[in-house]
Amino acid sequence: MNKNRLLIITLIALIIIILGCLGYYSYRQQKREVAWSTINHYITKQGIAKKDIEVSSFGTENDGQYHRFIYVKEEKPNIAYEYIYKSDINQVYFSAEYVDRKSILQHEWGGTELLSSEMRTIKFHPLKNSYGYGSKYDINP
């Protein structure tokens, strides 16, 4: 009787652990899908078509935020766009950065952020009421 009882308790514990793992995985996938969709919505509203995106990377960092870096064909060769989805406030954060062209093609991102005056020279500007560096606005795209 003790062996059967131990087996049942072990199976119940195993089922609980498996269901917990599946729930956690499902939650993370849903969060990722929301981030991807929200960032793509922002990009579309900027007027950037999928066919114009030459290089793209998407992932999460240790900060729990989702990052998408893109290089647009019509943009200057050393400027890439970064979109950060902040899940705690459900908003997209946009910035443009100087990145070496070779680094862009190798999906090595991170560079020097453009100054406010330089942001006026990029091909696709941040949305008018967007959340970003130096922005006084705080709304969803």
Task: Evaluate whether residue 23 is within a structural domain.
Answer: yes
Task: Evaluate whether residue 139 is within a structural domain.
Answer: no
Task: Evaluate whether residue 137 is within a structural domain.
Answer: no
| Residue ranges making up the domain that contains 81 | 2-132
Beta bridge partners of 71: 55
State how many domains the chain has: 1
How many CB atoms are closer than 10 A to CB 101? 13
pLDDT-derived band at 141 (thresholds 50, 70, 90) equals very low
Tens of pLDDT, residue by residue over 45-98, are 888 989 999 888 888 877 778 888 999 988 888 889 999 888 777 788 888 888
Task: Evaluate whether residue 140 is within a structural domain.
Answer: no
- CA distance linking residue 2 with residue 69, whole number of Å: 58
Task: Evaluate whether residue 104 is within a structural domain.
Answer: yes
